[in-house]
Structure 1
Amino acid sequence: MTTAAGRVPDVSELADRAAIEEILALHCRGVDRADEAALKHCYWPDATTAYGEAAVLAHPFCSQLVSAIKAYRQTHHMVTNSLFVFDGDRAKVETILLAFHYMVNDDGDDNEMTYLGRYLDDFEKRDHVWKIKHREPIMSWSQNGSATHDADHPALSALRRAKRYPDDPIYETD
């Protein structure tokens, strides 16, 4: 993937980048909140994803992902450092991914998994809307270990807790 690094983008390209970055962020929210509608909104209906050996349709995968993510007490996905290569209404986007997964195993022990990798995305713009046409995550490395979560620490005990859809504070209406 080559880029025209350092070239000043025009206003239209900046708007396209902002729209794509919003989809990348919404996907993280969709995973962390187990929000199937948010996840599906990030992909075109005919989109594919390759989290395994073969590409599958993204929308059915989103349903499976919501079920799988609920096995963890919490997850936190972050994306950083996106590079864009535009070709009309298509874009190749490489984005760094950091993901944290917190779970309590059958013995009652707290465990966490840290995952670092990249998303290689093909985006497509249809009717002035950017969404993912194909996604392939690429793993750099991961680690698993005991967690040191202390929800009762005085500095943290008064904070509201993150929850899954629809119980998380982000879904509250006025």
Structure 2
Amino acid sequence: MSQAVGRVPSHSRLADEHAIGEIIHMHCRGVDRADEAALKICYWPEASVSYGAEPAPAHPFCEGLVEAIKGFAQTHHVVSNILVTFADEDSPASATVESYLIAFHYLENPDGDDSEMTYLGRYLDQFEKRGDDWKIIQRTPVMSWSQNAATTHDDQHPALAALTRAGRYPDDPIYG
């Protein structure tokens, strides 16, 4: 590790790390809201993703992901432990970023046997900075484990019935 861990960062480093974190968080919103534009803005046009054996172009992958994610009633992605390593500390133009991930996928079944797939892993991302913009140039998800379990959803419970409901693009309250 070439960077000084625990050293007070410069303002420019904090700004770069914030911009990178914003992209990682926007990607989660894009997935959970099934928002193709939000997903694509996170990747450079020639970026790739490695969700399978071979890397694939990121933008077409985003299009397919939107349709796939709509197969779930809801999803909820949470990232944490975002660690950024700049290739050149003095003039950062690329960075390796590791983010921990927990993703919940709620599936409603017509027969009432609802289930939830919980995925735990990490995103290993290569970021590039062009001008003042950071975006992902390559993403590789790494799975730690997943679990599938029967679940229920009681949205009429007195403590929950009055809450605003999440939705997909463009029906989620964030787009209102």
The CA distance in 1 between the partners of 2:96 and 2:62, in whole Å, is 21
- After TM superposition, give the deviation of residue 7 of structure 1 in Å: 2.0
Q: Is the 8 A contact 1:32 1:74 kept in 2?
A: yes
Q: Does 1:169 align with 2:146?
A: no
The CA distance in 2 between the partners of 1:128 and 1:103, in whole Å, is 40
Return the letter of the residue paired with 2:138: H
The CA distance in 1 between the partners of 2:109 and 2:149, in whole Å, is 12
The unaligned stretches of length 5 or more in structure 1 are none
C-alpha spacing 1:48/1:95, structure 2 compared with 1 (3 Å): same
SS at match of 2:148: strand
Q: Deviations over 1:91-134 (max 9, x none)?
A: 00000001000011353311101110000000000011000000
1:54 corresponds to which residue?
54
Return the letter of the residue paired with 2:86: F
Q: Is the 8 A contact 1:3 1:84 kept in 2?
A: no
SS at match of 1:19: helix
- After TM superposition, give the deviation of residue 3 of structure 1 in Å: 4.6
- After TM superposition, give the deviation of residue 8 of structure 1 in Å: 1.8
2:131 corresponds to which residue?
127
1:149 corresponds to which residue?
153
2:35 corresponds to which residue?
35
Q: Is the 8 A contact 1:83 1:95 kept in 2?
A: yes
The CA distance in 2 between the partners of 1:108 and 1:132, in whole Å, is 39
2:64 corresponds to which residue?
64
- After TM superposition, give the deviation of residue 4 of structure 1 in Å: 2.9
Return the letter of the residue paired with 1:36: E
Q: Deviations over 1:21-63 (max 9, x none)?
A: 0001100000000000000000000000001111000000000
Q: Is the 8 A contact 1:99 1:115 kept in 2?
A: yes
- TM-score by length of structure 2 reads 0.95
SS at match of 1:137: strand
2:119 corresponds to which residue?
115
Q: Is the 8 A contact 1:97 1:117 kept in 2?
A: yes
The CA distance in 2 between the partners of 1:166 and 1:6, in whole Å, is 42
RMSD (Å) for aligned C-alpha atoms: 1.1
Q: Is the 8 A contact 1:23 1:42 kept in 2?
A: yes
- After TM superposition, give the deviation of residue 2 of structure 1 in Å: 6.1
2:19 corresponds to which residue?
19
The CA distance in 1 between the partners of 2:114 and 2:72, in whole Å, is 11
SS at match of 1:23: helix
